[in-house]
Structure 1
C-alpha cells in the first residue's frame, strides 16, 4: 500500500496530449500522412485544403473534432497550413507550423477545464491512460518523456500510438467545449486530505508495490530507475485515480495541469 506520507505529486499523473501533438509534429509525418497529403506543391491550388487531408488521417483525427466543435479555429488553422504548403514547405514543416499556431488556442481550452463536468475529465484521463499503457509496451522511454511533456524530436512511434494520443486530444477538446457551453461550479478543485489518502489507497489496489513507493518518495531512486519502471509508476497513479470517485479523479486531472 502507498502510505499518505509518500505524497506523490499530482503532476506525475500528467500525460499531456498537447505535448504529444507537438512532439508528433517534430517527429515528422507517418507514411499514412505522406500518402494522403501528397507533394507539398499541390497545397496552394488543390481542391482540398491540406488541413482537410490531415484530418482524414486516423492519427490526426482530433482535427475532425476541432472542426466540429470550433469551426472558426479550424478555418484559421486551415488558412495557416494552406499558406505554408502553398509556399513550398513540405508536410513535416506544415504540421510543425500547424502545432505552433494551435498552441495558444489549446492553452485557453485547458484553462476552461476547471468548469468541465467530472465525466468529461474522467474520460480524458482514461484515454491518456490507454495511450501510456500502449507506449509502455512500444517505447517506455517515450512514455516517460511524453508524461513529462518533452518527447525527443527524433522519436518514431507507430500509427497506433499517435492514434491513441489523438483520441485523448479530441476528448480534451470535448471537455473544454462542454465546460464552455455548460460550466460546472467547482469552487475549489484542490484535493482534500481525505481524497488524497483514498487515492493512495486505490494506487495500492491498482497494483503498487514497495518499489512504487520508493520511486515516488526518493528522487535518487527515480533517477536510477528504468524507463519501464517510471512509466509503470505513472500508469499506476492514473489507475488509482480512475478507481477513485469521479469527482476525485476529475480533481486529479485538474491538479495535473
Structure 2
C-alpha cells in the first residue's frame, strides 16, 4: 500500500486514544485519511487526529459522536471498532453484572457504532468496517471464558453483517490479535507477583517468542480497511505470532 491509499477518505476509530486504537488511528492518518477518534477521553490526542467523546455502551452518545464526525468531515468511509474491555476468569468467576458489562461494551458497542454509521457508509464508494476480535476466538486460553464469549460473538456478527451488506458495497472484516503489548497488558504485568516472569510467559505463548505490537495489528487493520482489499469481506485475519495455527516441538536445549 502507498502512503496515500486513504487520501480523501474519512475513518472513525472507536477506542482510538490508546493501544491498538491509537496505533490504527495514527497509521490511517499517515496514509491520508481524515480520522475521527471516538473515545471516553480523547483529550490526549494530537493533530491530525480529531477526538469526539463517546461511550460505546450508550446509544445516544454513539449516535451523537458519529453524526458529529460525519458532519465535521463530510461523511464516513471506514469504521474500525477497537473499543473494548477485558475480563479474567473461568465461567465460575465472573458475576452476571460483569457478563452484562463486558458484552455490552465489547459486542453491543460494536452494534451501536455500526448502526449509527451505516447511513453514511451506504453513501461511500469505499465503505469498510473492521472489527477487533481476539486469538481467544480460535484458540482456547485459560481464564478467558467471558472475554472469549464476547469476542467470538463479534466474529460471528462480522460474518453476518458481511453477508447482509455485501450488495450495498460495504465490506466487513475482523482482525484477531494474539497477546498485544499494550498499556493495558503493561498494567496487568505491573500488578503481577513476578512481572518479569509473567512477561516472559506471555512472550513465550506466541511461537514467534514475543508479544504482538499494536503497530502490527494496525497494519493488518489498515490493509483490510483500504481500497486495496476491495475483494476481501467476511474474513478474519489472525495477527497472533502463529498461536492459532502453529504447533512447535519444544526448543532444543544445549548441554
- Bigger fraction of residues in helix: 1
| Bigger strand fraction | 2
| Alignment TM-score, normalising by the size of structure 1 | 0.24
- Structure showing greater relative contact order (alpha-carbon pairs closer than 8 Å, 6 or more residues apart): 1
Larger radius of gyration: 1
TM-score (norm 2): 0.24
